[in-house]
Structure formats: structure tokens, C-alpha cells
Amino acid sequence: MRISYKVELINLGIYLKLYADFTTPLAVGIDLNIYDFIALVGEQLVGEPLYGDPVWALLAQLAGRIEDELPGHNFTPPAHQPSNLTLPAWLAQQMLVIQSRLAAALGEDDPAQVAQLVCAQPARVSVSATRIDVTFALAQHPIQIRLSGLDRDPGWVPAAGRFVAFHFE
């Protein structure tokens, strides 16, 4: 499947310690499906154009929800957060951290440019029961992404239930 949206946001969730990686497979992350996290962050970065991208349906499928169902519809923010915090309020708080982290990592302050760098690079995605393989054209892959570490192989991601690998050709 060819997509333009980055599954590399999985590394962002791991970096922010919202999800565990292979080094801490028993660590408890947040109760938001990691594929819904990617969809919600992508939606915040890109907006409506994301809905027409094949990745929107893929993320819904991987999260085990129907495509018309909103990502994170059954998510309750973590216990250390205020109990009346809604998903949109929690996401707004997270986006402040996420946008700051992405701007610093990419060396880019313009939110539109950050979204372009993170979400507008075409990729080919192959999904199996145990793996997600994402392949990018190295010649078109922004150096800022390489330097930021967003495209490092996360390996086994317990919250994803799969081994995730990024490839370049």
C-alpha cells in the first residue's frame, strides 16, 4: 500500500514514553491504541487531507476499529491526569509537547513545514500479522528526518503487537 503519511510517529510515542519499546516490553503505556495515537497526532498535524490518505483506513484496521469510528473514542486519559480531562483536552496538552519536540528535532519552527516534513513523504507499507515494513525513497527522504531519529527502526513495539522496520531504497 502506498501512503504519504508517516508511520514514523510511532517513534515519537516511544520517545515521549507514552509507549514501551523492545527494551521495556512489560512497561505499561497509556491506554490509547498506538495506531489511534498515530492517527490523532497526524490529524492534528495535517488536518482533513489525512482522511483521504490510505493510511487513515490502515490505522483504523490496525487499531481494530471501523474506518468511520473516531480514533481514541474509548480512551480515558492516564490516572495521573485530572479525572475530568477529555480526549481533546489531553490531546491538546500532548500536541504542545509534540510540536515542541518535532520543531527542536527537525530544526524547523514553522508548524506547516514540520507537518510537511513529517507527514508528506511517500512510503510503501507492508503489513503482516507480525510486522510492519515501511519503505521510503532515500533520495527524497528529508535529511532532517534522518538526523532527528524519527526513522530509526523501533523493532518490536509491544503496543503495536508487531515488529516495525523502516527501509530505504
Q: In angstroms, rounded to a whole number, what is the distance separating the alpha carbons of residues 26 and 10?
A: 18
Inter-residue contact 131 to 62 (CB < 8 Å)? no
pLDDT tens-digit map of 89-148: 899 999 999 999 899 888 888 888 888 888 877 888 999 999 999 998 888 888 888 888
Question: Which residues share a beta bridge with 168?
Answer: 136
Give the domain range for residue 98.
2-168
pLDDT tens-digit map of 60-82: 999 999 878 999 988 888 766 66
Predicted confidence (pLDDT) at residue 50 exceeds the cutoff of 60: yes
Q: In angstroms, rounded to a whole number, what is the distance separating the alpha carbons of residues 151 and 113?
A: 18
Q: In angstroms, rounded to a whole number, what is the distance separating the alpha carbons of residues 149 and 144?
A: 9
Residue with cell 510492519: 132
Number of structural domains (the chain) is 1
